[in-house]
Structure 1
Amino acid sequence: MTFSIKNIISYIHAKPFGSFDDFIIENISIDSRSLQNNTGTLFFALKGQNHDGHHYIEQLIHKGVRYFVVESLPENCIGKAQFLIVENTTIALQETAKYYRNLFDFPVIGITGSNGKTIVKEWLNYLLSPDYSIVRSPKSYNSQVGVPLSVFGTNENHNLGIFEAGISLKGEMLHLESIIKPSIGVFTHIGTAHEDGFTNPEEKIIEKTQLFINCEVVILQKNDSIEKHIQATCFTWSFTDEKATVFGTIGEQKNGITNLLVTYNSHTFLIEIPFQDSIALNNVMTCVTTLLYLKVDTAIIANRVRNLYPVEIRLQAKKGINNCVLIDDSYSSDYQSLKIALDFLEQQKLHPKKTIILSDIFQGGLPIEKLYEKVALAIQNNKIDRIIAIGETISKYLSELPNVISFSSTNDFLKQFNTQSFQNETILIKGARSFNFDEIVVLLEEKKHETVLEINLDAITNNLNFYKSKLLPNTKVMVMVKAFGYGNGGFEIAKLLEHNTVDYLGVAFADEGIELRKAGIMLPIMVLNPENSSFNAMIAYDLEPEIYSITGLQAFLRLAQQKNINSYPIHIKLDTGMHRLGFEETEIDTLILLLKNNNFVKVKSVFSHLAASDNTDFNDFTQKQFDRFKRCSEKLISELAIKPIRHILNTSGIFNYANEMQLEMVRLGIGLYGVGNSKTENENLQNVSTLKSVISQIRVVNEGESIGYSRKFMVNEEIKVATIPIGYADGIRRAWGNEKGYVMINNQKATILGNICMDMLMVNVSSINCLSGDEVIIFGQKPTVNEIATTTHTIAYEILTGISQRVKRVFYKN
C-alpha cells in the first residue's frame, strides 16, 4: 500500500496545517501502541465515546511518526509534525479507504449476516486461492473502522477481494458498502446478534441488505423475507426448497463426515464435508453456491471442500512449558494478520525475550521479494529475539536477518525439537494450516485437563473504555487485579492494562504484587491488605502499601528509618462508614502528628471505600461518606501541605456517582470483568469469561435408577445422561446442581442432575443431539455468572473468584 498524502487532502476535505510536504503513505495506523508505527505511517487520531487518539500524538512523534489526521491541533506538538485537520477523523479514515479502493478494479465479494461471516470468508479464501490472488479482511475486521483497515491491505497484484461487513446500528451499512463496493454479495445467516440497535428483525434485514445495492448477484439461503429486500439477482441454496438455485440433500453422516448431494442446473454431484453440525453445513453450502456462481468445476469443488477445516478466528494466549507464554495463531499466514499478531505478541509478552515461529507467507499479492522485505521489516520493528523460519521460501528470504533458525518443514523442526530450548519467553506461533503448526502448539503448551476458562481481552478493553468514558480526561484509573484478576488471570490482564496505559494496579496482598513484578509489570502497584511482615518484600519489589492504622504506619516508618529510605510512597485509607479498614475521623490528628515533618514516606494518595455505591436507595449515606472523606482528606492536605491523589469511587461508584465524586482517581474492579450491579450497567458491558468443558461420556439410564451421590436424582423414565469433567473442586457450587442449574450444549440447555461431584457433574441430554467430546458451556453469555449467583444465593464475585487455578486460562483477541 503506497499512495501520496496530497492525493487525499481534497478527498477527505482536510485543511493542512503549516507548510505541508508531500508524503508517500506506507502504513495507515489508528493504534498508538503498535510497534509498526514509523516514519512511513499516516496516523488517524480517532475519537470515540471511550477513547481519543489525540492524547497519544506526542509519544508517536517520539517514535518517528510525522503525519497525522486530527480534529484539533494537539498542544505542544505544533511544528514537530504535519497535520491534516478534519471535522471527523473516523469519517476521514473511511473516505481515505474509499479513495484507495477506487484505485483498483476487480471483483469483490462482500459478506454480511448475523453469524458465519468470518468462517465463510476464510473458507472462500481457501477454496478460491488456487485460482485468484485474494485480499481479504484479516481476522474479523468488519466494523466501521475494521473495514477501512482491511481495504488498505489491497495491492496491484490482487484480482479478487473478500471483505466482511458487520453492523449494529441503523445507517451504518451504507458507509461500509461505499468502501467495499462489492460486485458479489453473500448473506450468511440472520440471527439475534445486535438486535438492540433495531426496532424489529425486518429493519435489521433491510439495513444489512444495503451492502448489496450495487451487486450483480447475492448468494444466500433461500428466504423470501430477505430476498424481497434485494434488488440484485438472488442465487440461492436450500436443503428443503427445491425452487432454490442450488439444492442440497444431506446423506449419510458418519465419523465426522457428511455426504452431501448437490443439484445445480439439473446436474447432481456428491461432495464429502468434514463436518456434521448444521451450522457448518450451512456455511459450506454458502461457499459451494458461491463457487458454482463463479463457474468453478464441480469436481474441483468436491476435491477442495473435502479438505475444509475448522477456522480459529481468534488470537489466543496460552500458558506454555518452562514458564513460557504462547500466542497461538497456527492457522493462517499472511502479511496483514502477521502485523496484528505481532502487536498482540507485544501486548501479551511475559518476558523480554520474544520468539516467533513462522511458516511461509501466503496470499500476499506482492512480488515475493517485496513481500518478504515487508515481513522482515515488521519482525525487526517488533524487536524479535529469535526467528524460527519453517518452509523453504521463508528460509531463503529471511536468511540475512540475525538470529534466524531455518527448517525446510514442520517435520524437520519437530525432529530436532528440544523442550529445554524454550524457557522464560513469549512465543508467537504463526503458520499456514498446511504446515500443521498445531503440532508445535501441542508440544509447547502446558498440559492441563480439558476444562478451560476463556478470557476475551477485547471485552476487557471495551469494559475499561466504558468506565473511562464516564470520567474527565485527566482522572486517573486504578484497576483491581487482586484475587488472580477476579479469577480470570493475573499477569495477562495486568499486561493488557499496562498496554492500555491505566495509572495504577491494585492487589490484595504483597505476594500478588511480587508475582506481577516478576512477570515484568512496571505500573505502580498498590497493596490493599499489607501485613507488617511483608513490608520488607514490598520495598524490595517497589510495591506501595495501603496504610490503614496507627500501628501499621509506625511499623512501616520504623522499617523505612532502618533502611534509610526517603519519600517512600504510601496510601492512606480513611474509614468513612464501611467500617472494615482505615483511619477514623477521631484518629486524623494523631495521623497528622506522625506524618508531619517525616521524610521517610510520601503520601501518594488518600482514599476511602463506599459501602453502598451499588444501591442508589442509600444516596444519603453515600453522600455522608463522601462529605466525611472530603473533610478528613482536606484536613490532611492542609496540615501536611501535600497534594495527594484522592479516590473514593469503586466500580458501581463510577457508574452511579462519577459526576459528583470522581476526584483525582477512581478504582475499577468487577466491572472490568463484565459484571455490573444493575441491569443498565450490565447492558453496557461485554462478557469477559467463558468457562468451557467437554462431554466425557454419554450413557442411557433406565427408569428406577438414580444419578450421582446420595441418589438425589431418581429417574422416572429412560433418559440420556452426559458426564462433564468439572465439579466443585473447579469452583462449580454444589447449590447449582439438583436441577437448579444447567449448561449449554450445542446451543441447548442441559439440566444438571443430582449432586455436583468434586470433579464431575451429570446433565440431561435426552433431547440434545450430541457426542462425547462435544463442547459444553458452563457459563458465559448463557448462563451468565449473575444468573448462577442469583440462583445459588451469592454474588458474581464469588462465582468468578471461585474458579480453581487448576482450570487452564486461555486469553484471546478477535
Structure 2
Amino acid sequence: MYTAESISKILKGELLQQTGNPEIEHILLDSRKLLTAETSLFIPLVSERRNAHQYIAELYQKGVSNFVVSEPPPLHEYPNANIILVKNTMQALHTLVAYHRQQFNIPVIGITGSNGKTIVKEWLHQLLEKDYNIVRSPKSYNSQIGVPLSVWQMKPENQLGIFEAGISQPGEMVNLEKIIRPTIGIFTNVGEAHNEGFLNIRQKVNEKLILFMKSDVLIYCKDYLALNECVNSFHNLVGKREIDNDLQLLTWSRKTDADLRIIGVDKNENHTRIDALYKQEPLFIRIPFVDEGSIENAIHCWALMLYLGKPQDVIQERMDHLGNIAMRLELKQGINNSSIINDSYNSDLGSLAIALEFLQQQRQHPSRTVILSDILQSGKSDATLYEEVAGMLEQKGIQKIIGIGKNIGREKQSFRNVKSSFYATTEEFLQQFNPDEFQNETILVKGARVFQFERIGKLLEQKAHQTILEINLSAIAHNIKAYQARLKPGTKLMAMVKAFSYGSGSYEIASLLQFHGVDYLAVAYADEGVELRRAGITLPIMVMNPEPTTFDAILQWNLEPELYSMHILEQFEEVVRYANKTDYPVHIKLDTGMHRLGFEAQDMELLVQRLKMDGLFRVQSVFSHLAASEDPASDDFTRKQAQLFNRMSVNLQTQLGYAIIRHIANSAAIHRHPDLQLDMVRLGIGMYGVDNAGGFSENLRNVSTLKTTVAQLKCIPAGDTVGYGGKWTAKEPSVIATVRIGYADGYPRRLGNNNGKMLVRHKLAPVAGVVAMDMLMLDVTKIPGVEEGDEVIVFGEDLPVQQVAEWADTIPYEILAGISQRVKRVYFQE
C-alpha cells in the first residue's frame, strides 16, 4: 500500500503538507483522465509547451488530495491536500514506478524494436493467458509516460508482465530499463521509424538494447544484419557484468543457422504454415495470417513459447487460433443517428479507461452507452472489480450500461446509479436486439475477444456506401504537437475546422481539438459553429464569413464574428445593441495585400472610433491573411504584408488601450516564417498532414485515407472502348475493374482517361474512361490476382493526396474539401 508519506520517502522529497494518509492506487498525469479522485496521485509534468501545475486547483476541487509537485503551491488554498515537493516531476514518476517494479519477483517480458511491438505483446497475451495472470501495457503505451503508467498496474496477483518500450532519441531507454527491468527480452526488428532522432541505425539499435542490460535472455532475428552485429557486441559487453547468470541469446533465422531455424514458409489463401528446426527437432506452427509482418511477429512469439518450455502441441493449437489485434478505436456512424465506438477485441481495466476517455471526447450526442463484457483475469474479486468499473462509468458520465456475461450479471447491483440491463451471452443479446432502443447516443462496444462483440457492432453500424474516408485522430494529434513544438512559448493555436474540417468532419475533429487544449477554433460560416455548439464544443469559435441573416444565431450560440468592413460592422453593431449586450467578442480582419476581405490602412481611424463607441464590442483578435507564405519566391511580399500588419495592428491595440491577440501566420508560416508567430497562429491544412510549403512533411503523419472496393471485373478484347463516350480504347486484351466511387463522391472528372491512378494490391492502376457519377473503371491488366471485393486506395499513406491533386492540376485543399458527405467517415484513434 502506498501513501503520501511512503511515497515521499521513496522519492526523497519534502512533504510540504500532510493532512491524511489515504491509500494511493492510481497515478494521474492528465487532469482530463481522472477516474477515482480519492485514490489518485497527481504528478504534474512540465514541458516547453505546457505546465500541468496549472491544473492542481481544478483537481483539488474534484476531490484529489495527493500531489507530487516541483513548484510549491500556496498551501492555504489546499488545506486538505498532501503535497510532496521534488526537483523534477518526470524523474519522480520514473523513480516511483521503478521502486514499484522492484517489489515483484515475476517474469517480465520487455519488447522493443521498430515495428510489431504491440502485436507481439497482444499475441503473447492471447497465447499465455490460460497459464498466467498477466499484466501488460495498455494499447501501445511505450513512451516515457506510457511505460510508467503500464508498469504501475503490477499487482500481487500478477504472474507475468509484458511491456513494450519505444524511444525517439538517445538517452531515453536507460529510464525505461529501470522501470520495466525485463527478465526476458524480445527485439522485434529494425526499421526506419524514429530514425530522425539518431545518427544512424546502429546508434538506434544500441540505444534500444539498453533495455536488456539485466535480462536473462534476448530473443531476436539474426537476419537483420545491423541488429545481429550490435547484439553480438552488446552480448560481449554485458557478459562481463558481475551477476551469476549471463545473458542468453535465443536467435531465429530464415537464412542461416540459428536456435530456431526456419526451413519453410508455405502460404495458402488464409493461413501460413511455418516449419522450423529447434534443437535438431522438426517443428511447425500454423497461423491464420499470410502477410510477412504477421509471420515475423508469430515467430518471435513461437521462440518465446519454446523458451518457456510450452509443449509443442499446445503451441500449435494456440497459434492456429491467433486473433486480429484491434490497433485502434474506431468511431463510426450508427443506426438512428447514433455513433459507434468499436473496441470489440479485448476487455481489461486499462483498455477500458482508454476507451472511456475516447468516449468522453465525443459530445455530439447527449447520451452515452457502454456495452461491456465480463472482464477476464483481473485478479480482483468480482464485487471489487465491478464496483470499480461502475465508478469509472459514473466518473465519465455514462447514462446506460449493457452488461454481457455471467460475472458482470451477478454484480448488477454495482451499477445501481446508471440505467442497466444484463445478458448472460452475446447470443442472448442478439436474439433480443431491438434497434429502436438505440437513439441519438454514442455507444462504446467493449468486449473480450471470446464474446465476439464484432457481431454487435455490425448490427449497430449504419449500413453505408462501401466508399469510406478513414480519419486518423491520433495522426491529427501528432501533427498538432509537431507544429506546437515549433511555436515560441506562450503562442496560442487556432485550429481551422471550416469546410467540414477540410472534408474530415465537424464535431469529431473539434472534439479532439478541444480535448488536446487548442485555444481557438475557426469556421467559415455561422451554421458550422452552431453545429459544433450543439455537439458540446465549448471552445471559443471565430466565424470567418458572418452573414447578417445569421447574426442572431451568432449571439445565441456565443460565436465570435470576424468583422472585415465598416458595412458588416455596422450591421452587427445594430443587432448587438438591440440584444442589449456589451463587450461582445469580435475579431478584426485587416487587408495587408491579399485584397479579399479586410479593413485597409485608410479605414483605421474610423474603425477605432466605431469600436470604442458605446462599449458594444471587445476585440479578441486582429489578424490578416498571408497570400503566399509557402512560396520562397514571394518572401519579399510576405515581409511587406507582415510589416503593414504590424503597423496597423499595433496602432489598433494602442488606440483601444487593451491587449489584443495578433495573428497572421498560417500552417506554412509557422515553420517558414517563425518570426511571424506573434500571439497566435492559425493551423489549417498542416493539421491534416499536408505540408504545402515543403520542408516539414517528415514531421507530419498522414491523416486521411479514401478507399473503396472493386465491384466487378471484366475481360475485354483489344479495340473495345470503356465508359461514356467511348473515349478510352483497350490497346490489348485488358482486365477492367469497376470501382465504387465517382464524381458525386468528390473524385474529379478530370482524372479520367489515364490522368488519375489508384492503388490496387499495392500497385498503381490508371483510370480507364471518364469518371461517372457513382462509378469509374480502372485498368488492372498488369496487376495479377485482382478479385471482386478487393480494396482500392484512392489516396492515403502510400498514395498521398498531394499526388492526386497534382494529377488533377489542383491543390490538396480542393481534393479533401470535395469529398462528398455521402462518403462514410470512419474515425479511429490508435
- Shorter-chain-normalised TM-score: which range? over 0.9
User: Structure 1 residue aligned with 2:376, among 355, 362, 366?
Assistant: 362
- The change in CA–CA distance for 1:244 and 1:450 in structure 2 (over 3 A counts) is farther
For 1:242 and 1:6, the matched residues in 2 are separated by 55
> Within the alignment, does 1:287 sit opposite 2:286 as a pair?
no
Partner in structure 2 of residue 423 of structure 1? 439
Cα deviation for residue 642 of structure 1 reads: 5.1
One-letter amino acid of the structure 2 residue matched with residue 580 of structure 1: R
**Which secondary structure state, in structure 2, belongs to the residue aligned with residue 545 of structure 1?**
strand
Q: TM-score, normalised by structure 1?
A: 0.92
- In structure 1, the partner of 2:497 is 481
**Structure 2 residue aligned with 1:99:** 99
Distance 1:410 1:417 in 2: 10
> C-alpha offsets along residues 188-242 of structure 1, whole Å, 9 cap, x if unaligned?
2322222222333333333333333333222333426233433243333445556
TM-score by length of 2: 0.90
CA gap of 1:719–1:112, structure 2 versus 1, over 3 A, is farther
Give secondary structure in 1 for the equivalent of 2:119: helix
Stretches of structure 2 that go unaligned for 5 or more consecutive residues are 236-246
Counterparts of 1:59 and 1:412, CA distance in 2: 44
Is it true that 1:627 corresponds to 2:643 in the alignment? yes
Measure the CA separation in 1 of the matches of 2:437 and 2:664. Answer: 48
- Name the CA shift for 1:49/1:789 in 2 (closer, same or farther; >3 Å): farther
The residue aligned with 1:202 is 202
Q: Are residues 1:121 and 2:121 paired? A: yes
Partner residue, 1:598? 614
Q: Which residue of 2 aligns with 1:687?
A: 702
Code of the aligned partner of 2:404: I
Counterpart pick for 1:253 among 265, 268, 271: 268
SS state of the match for residue 230, structure 2?
A: coil
Aligned to 1:215: 215
Matching of residues 601-616 of structure 1 within 5 Å: 601-616=617-632
- Determine the structure 2 residue equivalent to 1:804: 820
Instruction: Note closer, same or farther for the CA distance 1:594–1:79 as it changes in structure 2 (3 Å cut).
Output: closer
SS in 1 for 2:696: helix
Residues 347, 495 of structure 1: 8 Å contact kept: yes
Displacement of 1:399 after TM fit? 2.7
| Alpha-carbon separation, structure 2, partners of 1:756 and 1:521 | 42
Match of 2:130 in 1: 130
Q: Report the Cα offset of residue 757 of structure 1.
A: 2.5
Question: How much has 1:699 moved relative to structure 2?
Answer: 5.9
The 8 Å contact of residues 713 and 753 in structure 1, kept in 2 or not, is answered as no
Change (3 A) 1:371 1:562: closer
Matched residue, 1:339: 353
Corresponding residue for residue 646 of structure 1:
662
Q: 1:390 to 1:108 in 2, by over 3 A?
A: same
Match of 1:412 in 2: 428
Q: Aligned partners of 1:729, 1:492: CA distance in 2, in Å?
A: 23
Say which is worse superposed, 633-642 or 417-426, in terms of deviation. 633-642
**Cα distance in 2 between the residues matched to 1:662 and 1:473:** 11
2:802 matches 1:786: yes
- Which region of structure 1 is more displaced relative to structure 2, 517-526 or 701-710? 701-710
AA partner of residue 143 (structure 1): S
Distance 1:234 1:709 in 2: 64
Q: What SS does the corresponding residue of 2:372 show, helix, strand or coil?
A: strand
Is the 2:769–2:776 contact (alpha carbons within 8 Å) kept by the matching residues of 1? no
1:373-522 maps to which residues of 2 (within 5 A)?
373-402=387-416, 403-522=419-538
Shift, 1:634, TM fit: 4.2
CA contact (8 A) 1:654 1:662 kept: no
Residue correspondence of structure 1 range 31-430 to structure 2 within 5 A = 31-36=30-35, 38-73=37-72, 79=78, 81-223=81-223, 225=225, 226-230=227-231, 231=235, 232-239=247-254, 241=256, 243-247=258-262, 249-251=264-266, 253-254=268-269, 256-268=270-282, 271-402=285-416, 403-430=419-446
2: CA distance, partners of 1:533 / 1:24: 58
State the 1:686 CA deviation: 2.6
Answer whether contact 1:15 1:85 (CA < 8 A) is retained.
Answer: yes
Match of 1:537 in 2: 553
- C-alpha contact 2:524 2:545 (8 A) present in aligned 1: yes
Match for 1:187: what amino acid?
F
Aligned letter for 2:66? Y
Cα offsets for 1:659-679 (capped at 9, x unmatched): 45513x332222222223333
User: Do 1:637 and 1:644's aligned partners in 2 also have CA atoms closer than 8 Å?
Assistant: yes
- 1:7-47 C-alpha deviation (Å, 9 max, x unpaired): 44354453443558655321011111113151321122222
8 Å CA contact 2:780, 2:786 repeated in 1: no
Larger CA deviation: 475-484 vs 433-442: 475-484
Deviates more, 1:322-331 or 1:189-198: 189-198
Q: Matched residues in 2 for 1:15 and 1:707: separation?
A: 78
**C-alpha separation in 1, matches of 2:649 and 2:386:** 60
Question: Relative to structure 1, is the Cα distance of residues 284 and 526 closer, same or farther in structure 2, using a 3 angstrom cutoff?
Answer: same
Give the secondary-structure state (helix, strand or coil) at the position aligned to 1:33: helix
Shift of 1:774: 4.3
Between 1:466-475 and 1:452-461, the stretch displaced more is 466-475
- For 1:694-773, what aligned pairs fall within 5 Å after superposition? 694-697=709-712, 722-736=737-751, 742-745=757-760, 748-755=762-769, 757-758=771-772, 759-762=775-778, 764=780, 766=782, 771-773=787-789
SS at match of 2:318: helix
- Structure 1 portions without partners, runs of 5+: none
Q: Is the 8 A contact 1:325 1:349 kept in 2?
A: no
Distance in 2, matches of 1:695 and 1:174, equals: 49
Q: By how many angstroms is 1:319 displaced?
A: 1.6
Which amino acid counterpart does residue 69 of structure 1 have in structure 2?
Answer: V
Contact 1:4 1:24 in 2 (8 A): yes
Deviation string, structure 1 residues 703-746 (Cα, Å, up to 9, x no partner): 66666566666656666665543344333345556556544455
Indicate the larger mover: 283-292 or 716-725: 716-725
CA distance in 1, matches of 2:198, 2:737: 39
Corresponding position of 2:539: 523
> Following TM superposition, by how much is the alpha carbon of 1:773 offset from its aligned partner in structure 2, in angstroms?
3.9
- Cα distance in 1 for partners of 2:98, 2:279 equals 38
Say yes or no: does 1:672 pair with 2:672.
no
- Which whole-Å CA distance do the structure 2 matches of 1:511 and 1:761 have between them? 37
SS at match of 1:25: coil
SS of residue in 1 equivalent to 2:111: strand
Report SS of the residue matched to 2:32: coil
Identity %: 45
Residues 159-178 of structure 1: CA distance to partner in whole angstroms, max 9, x if unpaired? 01111122222333332222
**In structure 1, C-alpha distance between the alignment counterparts of 2:4 and 2:276, rounded to whole Å:** 50
Distance 1:737 1:84 in 2: 66
Q: Which residue of 2 aligns with 1:795?
A: 811
CA RMSD of aligned residues (A): 2.9
- The whole-number CA distance in structure 1 between the counterparts of 2:675 and 2:57 is 29
CA offset digits 1:264-318 (Å, max 9, x no partner): 3444455442222232222222222322222222222222222222111211222
Moved more, 444-453 or 484-493: 444-453
Q: 1:774/1:382 Cα in 2 relative to 1: closer, same or farther (>3 Å)? A: same
2:148 & 2:786 partners in 1: Cα distance?
A: 40
Cα distance in 1 between the residues matched to 2:311 and 2:563: 75
**What is the aligned partner in structure 1 of residue 243 from structure 2?**
none
